[in-house]
Amino acid sequence: MSIHVFWTQTLEEKQIGKGESVLSLFNLLTEYIVFIIYVVAVIETLLALGIVWQVRSQGIRLKDATDNMVKGFVDAPDKDSTLSLHEKIESSMRFITNKIQVDPAAKEIVRQNVGKITERSGDNRYFGIEVFSSMMSTLVQVFPLLGILGTILAISGETVAGGAEPLDPQALTEAFVLAMNTTILGIGFSILFMLVESVLQPRIERTIIDSKNYKNVLTSVYLA
């Protein structure tokens, strides 16, 4: 056997091996594309729940911190159960900001109160909320792409399987059903989680703004 013939056979075997690997991956994606869409939907749900929990926890921490900051002031805002958590935090921070601007003696009281709470590492942390929110926004855009991928896999899979032989009506029907299922799931989950994101986004923005305002108050107290 000549060297030329040997290398030709070797290259053909490698090409066949690569073709079989690509076909195996193709068949694997085709078989599990619906499952993959559901897995992404579960991940998106967990991210949404994580955002709700983090926003609530951060709000409670900020509420406790701002309540402690106004201790010792007889003219501090009265407790009002009709106010939301965000409104209570905003009211306390507005009071502190105005107080340290007009009353020099109040700065020391605020500084003492702040000194008792600044060691709480979670009072001004909101990085996790931003990460979860960014991941959720990204996955919302992935769902339509998965739907399109499922449609391509279904159509091209039937073409590859059929080859030169006549198309099987049963297989063609199954491919059409797969294409429709993935398209509907992709678009449906995308719309659903876009609505969820639109509900969560204002709460996320309010929490981040409150956290930044809290940091600004702390800075003004210590630099005053």
Q: From CA 79, how far away is CA 65, in angstroms rounded?
A: 15
Look at 102-111, 139-148, 153-162 and tell me which has the smallest mean pLDDT: 153-162
pTM greater than 0.85 (yes/no): no
Burial 98-110 (b: 16+ CB within 10 A, else e): ebbeeeeebbebb
In this predicted model, what pLDDT tens digit does every residue of 55-89 receive, in sequence order? 998 888 888 888 877 777 777 777 777 778 888 88
pLDDT, residue 128, reads 86
pLDDT, residue 76, reads 74
Q: Region 171-195: what's the mean pLDDT?
A: 87
Alpha helices for the chain (secondary structure H): 3-69, 85-102, 104-117, 127-162, 169-223
**Domain locations in the chain as residue ranges:** 3-223
Q: Region 163-175: what's the mean pLDDT?
A: 65
pLDDT, residue 52, reads 94
Integer angstrom CA distances of residue 139 from 35, 45, 90, 146, 182? 16, 11, 32, 10, 16
- % of residues, the chain, pLDDT over 90: 26
Q: Region 129-148: what's the mean pLDDT?
A: 92
Q: Region 127-145: what's the mean pLDDT?
A: 91
